[in-house]
Chains A and B, each alone.
Chain A
Amino acid sequence: MLQILTPDGELLADAPMDVELTRRLFEAMVAARQYDRKATSIQKQGRLATYAPFEGQEAAQIGSAAALRPDDWMVPTYRDAAAMWMQGYPWTLLLLTRMGDERGGSPPDGVGVLPPSITVGAHMVHAVGLAWAARLQGSDRIAITYFGDGATSEGDFHEAMNFAGVFRTGTVFVCQNNQYAISLSRRQQTASETIAEKADGYGVPGVLVDGNDLFAMYQATSEAVARAREGRGATLIEALTYRLGPHTTSDDPSRYRDAAEVEAWRLKDPLDRVRKYLTAEGAWDEEWETRVTTEAHDEIDRAVAEAEALAALAPEEIFGAMYAEPTPELIEQKRWLLESRGNRP
């Protein structure tokens, strides 16, 4: 397993980035955690629909996304808000989706992040098509896709990996193996020793990475991205990590795992080890982290306010994005809906 920074903050190899970038990515992890906690908390107040927290997986997402170019494609799932945000997806839109508004799925121009896949697995192969199209268009854009350990049981994983291998597309597959697919443990999910080794069957390199290690994630993804960009094909990265929270806000993880297990993983917190490393480098102090945390907290509060201030789509607008031009059926149905509502807004 590739590990560069131990849970104690010790370097096992050269750091793949300078202290300045390390500080920036630490700030990003702090912001992501603030977002995750804020989202969880306002969900409990009924201000968001179901939310899927990613606490514990910040390094896997921030470290990998930091290795991308701003124009690279990203095909994420519902648990990848930190990676999406790194690639330019605003907090406001991430929240808007969770509030139940389709406009959250429409990132700003220039942000090639698809709205997160909700069904498990079918999205991975989209990153094959996106990267393939880039090649045909004479571009060296690559496509990264995120998924969990559970998704590797879907046939879609096989088809996506196989196609990426056969057509040598510039696709980076990042499996965040967070040990559970809702209640099903990783051991019950697959009999193979690692998920990374599944890549062997597709002629694609697979690499097992400490997913809670920012440096290891950044380095492994940078290598995979370089390979993809140079036309040398796809890579499967297994980020070994742990979902500290529930599957979603509707889930009760105490039904399927022990508190002791969770506590053991808390000791491997991805933020702690970077904090220790920066401290040793003389590049961390409490005042800085407090300020960064407060700034992130305020920024996310503003995002919440902005998302909540946006009025819901008008009734007729649910018909407005089915096709480039609505079909006669949709125009008629829109009229019926409006008539049925009388003068109500």
Chain B
Amino acid sequence: MTVMNLAQAITDALDVALTTDPRVLVMGEDVGRTGGVFRLTNGLLETHGPERVVDMPVAEAGIVGTAFGMAVAGMRPVVEIQFMGFSYPAYDQIVSHVGRIRNRSRHRFTAPMVIRMPYGGGIGAAEHHSESTEAIYAHTPGVKVVVPSTPYDAKGLLLAAIEDPDPVIFLEPIRLYRAVKEEVAGGHFVVPLGEARLERSGDDVTLVAYGSMIRETRHAADVLADEGVSVEVIDLRSLVPLDVETLVGSVEKTGRAVIIHEGHRTAGFGAELSARIHEEALYSLLAPVERVTGWDTIFPLKRTEEYYLPGVDRIVQAAHRTLEG
């Protein structure tokens, strides 16, 4: 066991994958000599060499398309896109090829690859650097979407994603990279995709979140607990596949649900979660499902981003509304 933050856990997972599987490559912009814009690939070039850790020219579509070709040929590329907001040039590759090849060849060709994308705001970054558009990828057939929120999960989920026979979009919450530390097992282990994590058990209201919003959700749960509310917190960890059983089971128990994400509200992933709750747990509901989300605005720049990001107050207020109902 070593105490690591989320960034270190991802570096460790990449190192383990490169060490144990000769098919694995890390490729992306500035991932080699610089160690990546967030330094998550630091040291990998020195340890594993330039054939395995490849600095690529600035062309996201080309990088993902090249990795796709490699994956079809039997390699296990792990692509780093510098920020989620830079992934859109590669979206055509993802929707037109990466997510389709298994179906359009009826399993004859597959693309086992991981596309890592730092996502989310809260660090006062420049425009395009704070996107949280996971709904786009969750809406794209043929890819899986994974979002860790803790160092342990980040390592175990990334190793599971790399070993998965299908392509995985791996979203990394930027502002949690170095925010928390916890003990993480050394060497190889996996956290299975598609299994939510019960972060906290309670009976009165279910808070459902993932990735970057787990920290605010946790704080909100503390505030509510101080008020005497018994709060259950679920960290989804995977959006595709989705652990509906855990989600619905929790809402059936509490009768109240607050969904929290920082992506835009309309057609955001919370809309899907709310729909699933209504389809499967309507008669357990004691109050309307609440969504605490980013707004349908462009993600604001530094001076106003706090107005956009769901914070503890908004989560607590939403929980109060469900409890008043």
Contacts and interface: CB of A to CB of B under 8 A. Distances in A.
B73 A133 contact: yes
B69 A128 contact: yes
B242 interface: yes
A278 interface: no
B126 to A, nearest CB: 23
B242 A126 contact: no
Interface string B187-206: 00000001000000000000
Nearest to A124: B65
B221 interface: no
Nearest to A75: B69
Given A126-B97, A156-B61, A327-B240, A105 B104 contact: yes
Given A130-B72, A322-B141, A156 B57 contact: no
B70 A122 contact: no
Contacts of B303: none
A281 interface: no
> For chain B, what secondary structure do more than half of its interface residues adopt (helix, strand, loop), or is it mixed?
mixed
A328 B106 contact: no
A160 B65 contact: yes
A26 to B, nearest CB: 31
Interface stretch (B7-15, B107-115, B292-300, B305-313): B107-115
A328 B165 contact: no
Contacts of B165: 323-324
A128 B67 CA distance: 9
A114 B57 contact: no
A130 B104 contact: no
B177 to A, nearest CB: 28
A10 B67 CA distance: 45
Interface residues of B, number: 44
B65 A122 contact: yes
Contacts of A122: 61, 65, 92-93, 96-97
Contact of A126 (B65, B77, B102, B245): B65
Nearest to A161: B62
Interface string A102-116: 110111000000110
Contact of A166 (B57, B92, B241): B57
A342 B155 CA distance: 45
B75 A133 contact: yes
B19 interface: no
A321 B106 contact: yes
Interface residues of A, number: 40
A299 B178 CA distance: 65
A134 interface: yes
A79 B142 CA distance: 26
A258 interface: no
A160 B59 CA distance: 10
Contacts of A166: 57
B241 A163 contact: no
Interface in B224-245: 240-242, 244-245
A246 interface: no
Nearest to B242: A329
B194 A328 contact: yes
A236 to B, nearest CB: 16
Contact of B65 (A114, A115, A156, A322): A156
B105 interface: yes
B101, B102, B106, B141, most chain A CB atoms within 10 A: B106
B65 A159 contact: yes
Among A115, A143, A321, A329, the most chain B Cβ lie within 10 Å of the Cβ of A321
A177 to B, nearest CB: 22
A328 B61 contact: no
Contacts of B133: none
Interface in A91-147: 102-103, 105-107, 114-115, 117, 119, 122-123, 125-134, 136-137, 143
A155 interface: yes
Given A122-B97, A129-B65, A133-B74, A162 B59 contact: yes
A126 B61 contact: no
Contacts of B57: 162-163, 166
Contact of A328 (B101, B105, B241): B241
B166 A324 contact: yes
A119 B105 CA distance: 16
Contacts of A133: 69-70, 72-75
Interface in A145-175: 155-156, 159-160, 162-163, 166
A73 interface: yes
Contact of A129 (B61, B67, B109): B67
B194 A159 contact: no
Contacts of B20: none
Given A143-B69, A323-B142, A125 B106 contact: no
Contacts of B101: 114-115
B110 A324 contact: yes
B69 A127 contact: yes
Interface string B41-83: 0000000000100001101011001111111111101000000
Contacts of B142: 322-323
Nearest to A328: B241
A336 to B, nearest CB: 11
A300 B66 CA distance: 35
Given A133-B74, A134-B73, A159 B62 contact: yes
A105 B105 contact: yes
B103 interface: yes
B69 A132 contact: yes
A126 B69 CA distance: 4
10 contacts: A102-B103, A114-B72, A114-B105, A122-B61, A122-B92, A122-B97, A133-B74, A136-B70, A156-B61, A159-B65
Interface of B: 25, 51, 56-57, 59, 61-62, 65-75, 77, 92-93, 96-97, 101-110, 141-142, 144, 165-166, 194, 240-242, 244-245
Q: Which 7 A-B residue pairs are closest in the complex by CB-CB distance?
A: A129-B69, A159-B62, A133-B73, A125-B65, A106-B108, A327-B241, A324-B165
Interface of A: 73, 75, 102-103, 105-107, 114-115, 117, 119, 122-123, 125-134, 136-137, 143, 155-156, 159-160, 162-163, 166, 321-324, 327-329
